Amino acid sequence: MFELVLGTGNRKKAIEIQAVMPTDRVRLTTLADWPTAIEVVEDGNSFAENARLKSTQQAKHLGRWVLGEDSGLSVDALDGAPGIYSARFSGDDATDEKNNDLLLERLEGVPLQRRTAYYNCYLSLSDPDGNERLAANGKCCGRIIEQRHGTHGFGYDPMFEIPEYHLTFGQLGPSVKKALSHRARALRQFIPQLRLLLDQLAAQ
């Protein structure tokens, strides 16, 4: 069984990722399972750079295969903000509620047709020596509505509407999100690469 550490303590992300992992071949843990894990400084200029930092530094420290993930929301009317600062948009003591409140405040008066946005997700897999071996990314387009709807998901999900459904991720629930989300799209690109890598490692 291939032991893979997800480079986050966010169990909600872990649940989404575990749901599509080939569980017959991969056993996934999170940083919450590793007391000696380090706090990686996310000082990259992009989701890709931050995902790579999370995987390479943590992998080298733990001596384990680590999957780094960085994701967030970019709003066109805000020139791509909150972007890489999505989790801490409202400051060091940020919460989902505070972040959503600030986003609504920044978009006050902006008409619905100009509230287009997209979620981004980057994945980076590093080997125990800290070398990046695989990378993938996914994007999901939608728009930010004026009020929260739904209780599923986390982050900006209650305000991120998929126009084709006229529902937010908060309303659509995990089964639909698993098919449509930025993380799901990135994982669909990543999993075939991972299976190929596992085959190569097994043949060594």
> What three-state secondary structure class fits 179?
helix
CB 24 within 8 Å of CB 66: no
- The residues annotated with a catalytic role in the active site are 70
Other Cβ atoms less than 10 A from the Cβ of 192: the count is 10
Judge whether 47 is annotated as a binding position.
Answer: no
79 annotated as ligand-binding: no
What is the rounded distance in angstroms from the CA atom of residue 54 to the CA atom of residue 38? 10
Q: Is 56 annotated as a binding residue?
A: no
Is 98 assigned to a binding site? no
Is 139 labelled as part of a ligand binding site?
A: no
Apex 31 CA angle, 5 and 194, nearest 5: 20
Is 138 annotated to bind a ligand? Reply is no
Q: Which residues are annotated as a binding site?
A: 8-13, 70-71, 154-157, 177, 182-183
Q: Which residues are annotated as a binding site for substrate?
A: 8-13, 71, 154-157, 177, 182-183
Q: Which residues are annotated as a binding site for Mg(2+)?
A: 70
